[in-house]
Amino acid sequence: MSDVQEATNQLLDVNLCENQMSIQVTESGPRSESEHLQVTIGATVPTGFEQTAADEVREKLGSSCKISKDRGKIYFDISVDSLAQVHCLRSVDNLFVVVQEFKDYHFKETKEEVLKDFEDLAGKLPWSDPLKIWKINTSFKKKKTKRRKINPNSSKQKIDNGRGDTTVEKDVKEFTNSVSDSQILDSYENPAIKEEVSTLIGDDLTSCKDETEENSKEEADPEVLKFRVTCNRAGEKHCFSSNEAARDFGGAVQDYFKWKADMTNFDVEVLLNIHDNEIVVGIALTEESLHRRNITHFGPTTLRSTLAYGMLRLCAPQPTDIIVDPMCGTGAIPIEGATEWSNCYHIAGDNNPLAVNRAANNISSLLTKIQVKEGKLSLGLPIDTIQWDICNLPLRTGSVDIIVTDMPFGKRMGSKKRNWNLYPACLREMSRVCRPGTGRAVLLTQDKKCFAKALSGMGHLWRKVHTVWVNIGGLHAAVYLLKRTPQSFFHPSEQDGERCPW
């Protein structure tokens, strides 16, 4: 085991006790060692889908995950040359590199003492390896930012205090064409990025010339990095606010590095995550702009792709499964499906012509990009789009293996009253087209009461297997995994009405 790795492992196990505030600082080893640099990555994922994300990490990176008690976060170790592949993970919203984790931090009695401890902490943390990772990662982001439109207004919500006593809310991500394109591009571009990693390892960390392209033109001294601290605090017994912690910790960080504090145009985002007695200090590897915007009930309803991915994974698609989203909107779910599960066949349908056109456009622009990238013989995308009515699907009975959809919540789309009739009709029609015995459905809705009532009359057709509680833009929603019973579907006139489950 290299010195660096050993030190990192030790640090992860450090339990901070009251009197022992000094931490080992890991100096970077000789240049040749940095190729074997092991690093702990933290990832934020949609709450409820931590296990799904952990499964994906195991599958794609071969690493096992620790699922944090702080909901919506998982941690795993990788070697630095896998960093590019980490960005390929589809179930992850944001990534950060862990500087240090304190599993059982001892907070002192008074606010003054606690804040003083945070100030002292800044200069004692093992920053150098995480900063190396951050630098390598920044070179990936430069490629991406050319395509992705970063909304400058989103920075307004990025203030350095946390969210108070509650855990951080996860918000719906706006699925505009440009964002979807750049997201989906990631999975195709990364083989090229991986090559860059090996050439960058060993670069002088203090050379900041590359970063100046992104900095504002006002920056006089190109060597000085700009930073900010984001603190998220959750817990009943803290005597300080996240605002105060961020301010004092940030002040000490500034003194230590001589960086410049900048809330909006920063290079380095330092994360201070406090959950009861657990503290994690990290450096962000992704921008949070689109994910942490607080959405009111009239925000966009398009599902973010990490949630779409989690929902698809939940139904364990098998090769050649026919997967249908009968209320696809802009097509977030089927498009995610067609890219990640290309050995299945996907159908996107909606009654709204605007939605159908947008979904079709998203698909064709994605296809064009693939064709440009891969040459003339494209893989094609196994997906088609249809305009239809969910209550009268033009699909053969029992022809669909998986139905996965985001049902109207009744808040922005439709209404609660309309759901009362819509939900039973949907479930009935979905049970008709779904293959008896092996078919399954994964349905997201916030209208849990209506859903439960609609489902209660259909025990002979659907069996609820699993529920994942999620948070969509502040709304408490649920993802239901249903299995289609072996019973064949009969037309309502032939059936003896809908009886309660056996």
Partner 1 sequence: MRPLTHNLLSSHVRGATEVRINPVEFNPDFIARMIPKVEWVLLLEAADTLHLVEVPKEPIQGYEHNEEFLRKMHHVLLEVEVLEGTLQCPESGRLFPISRGIPSMLLSDEETET
CA end-to-end distance (rounded Å), the chain = 59
Which pair of tokens denotes residue 290? 């689109």
Left (φ > 0), alpha (ψ -120 to 50) or beta: where does 429 sit?
alpha
> Minimum distance from CB of 450 to partner 1 (Å)?
21
Cα 217-223-225 angle, rounded to 5 deg: 75
Among 57, 80, 312, 356, binds partner 1 (CB under 8 A): 356
**151 sits in which H/E element:** none
Site for partner 1, residues 359 to 418, rule: CB under 8 A: 360, 376-380, 382, 384-389, 391-392, 394-396, 399-400
Which residue(s) pair with 348 in the sheet? 325, 385
Q: Which of 135/428 has CB closer to partner 1? A: 428
Q: What are phi and psi of 282, to 5 degrees?
A: -140, 170
The interface mask with partner 1, positions 300-319, x = CB under 8 A, is: -------------------x
Q: Which of 152/380 has CB closer to partner 1? A: 380
Which pair of tokens denotes residue 50? 């931590």
Q: Which of 212/357 has CB closer to partner 1? A: 357
Q: Which of 64/364 has CB closer to partner 1? A: 364
> Minimum distance from CB of 176 to partner 1 (Å)?
21
For residues 253 and 227, the answer to whether their CB atoms sit within 8 Å is yes
Left (φ > 0), alpha (ψ -120 to 50) or beta: where does 363 sit?
alpha
Using the contact rule CB under 8 A, the part of the chain among 9-17, 208-216, 228-236, 341-349 near partner 1 is: 341-349
Give the Cα separation of 191 and 202 in Å (integer): 20
> Minimum distance from CB of 334 to partner 1 (Å)?
12
> Minimum distance from CB of 349 to partner 1 (Å)?
8
Among 53, 80, 131, 322, binds partner 1 (CB under 8 A): 322
> Minimum distance from CB of 352 to partner 1 (Å)?
10
> Tokens 């090769």 — which residue?
319
Number of residues that bind partner 1 (CB under 8 A): 30
Q: Which of 138/365 has CB closer to partner 1? A: 365
Q: Which of 57/395 has CB closer to partner 1? A: 395
> Minimum distance from CB of 382 to partner 1 (Å)?
8
Q: Which of 377/500 has CB closer to partner 1? A: 377
For residues 99 and 85, the answer to whether their CB atoms sit within 8 Å is no
Give SS3 for 20.
Answer: coil
Q: How many CB atoms lie within 10 A of CB 342?
A: 15
> Minimum distance from CB of 396 to partner 1 (Å)?
5
> Tokens 């092991």 — which residue?
38
> Tokens 């960080």 — which residue?
253
Q: Which of 225/370 has CB closer to partner 1? A: 370
CA distances, 407 to each of 301, 352, 412 (Å): 10, 14, 11
Give the Cα separation of 334 and 328 in Å (integer): 7
> Minimum distance from CB of 320 to partner 1 (Å)?
4
Using the contact rule CB under 8 A, the part of the chain among 17-25, 170-178, 206-214, 356-364 near partner 1 is: 356-364
> Minimum distance from CB of 423 to partner 1 (Å)?
17
| Interface ranges with partner 1 (CB under 8 A) | 319-320, 322, 343, 345, 347, 351, 353, 356-357, 360, 376-380, 382, 384-389, 391-392, 394-396, 399-400
